[in-house]
Amino acid sequence: MDKIKGNYNCLSKAAANLTARFKPVVALVDYNQGMWTFSRENYKLKYVSDAGGETVDETISNHSYNVSNPDDMDDLYALLCLSLPNRFTVDEVIDQTFAPEPTEYTLLTLLDNFNVSDDANFDFLINQSVET
């Protein structure tokens, strides 16, 4: 345990020295009963920060997005590929969706839940920066 803690502390200190423009933006997302939400648990946000990343801001992450509502999904898609001055592009998506059979939950499951194909133009898909 001491070795793991030491490694974690060492890496988080190295990440803390990164400048803001090199920090990847990470979206922690959950899908449940047709709704996408952004995770805001403090300990998860701390892990992202300690790893040298940034999470999407609270004005975005406090909303939920209904897959049955085209306007909601358009808003979600726009957020995931937004790249305006002084804003962000989501570099990494961590899908925290509960799966009773985790080995059966794949990237294709995520794409189905997002209602997009595997050639969707999101940076995190193009760069293969998705964790399920």
CATH number of the domain residue 46 falls in: 3.40.50
Single-letter code of the amino acid located at 117: S
In DSSP terms, 37 is beta-bridged to 30, 64
* pTM summary value: 0.78
pLDDT in tens, 11-35: 677 777 766 556 788 889 999 999 9
The tally of domains found in the chain comes to 1
Which is more confident, 43 or 14? 43
- Tell me which residue range forms the domain holding 121: 2-131
Q: Of 9-13, 73-77, 107-111, 122-126, which gets the smallest average pLDDT? A: 9-13
Q: For the chain, what is the mean pLDDT? A: 82
pLDDT in tens, 51-73: 888 887 766 667 889 999 999 98
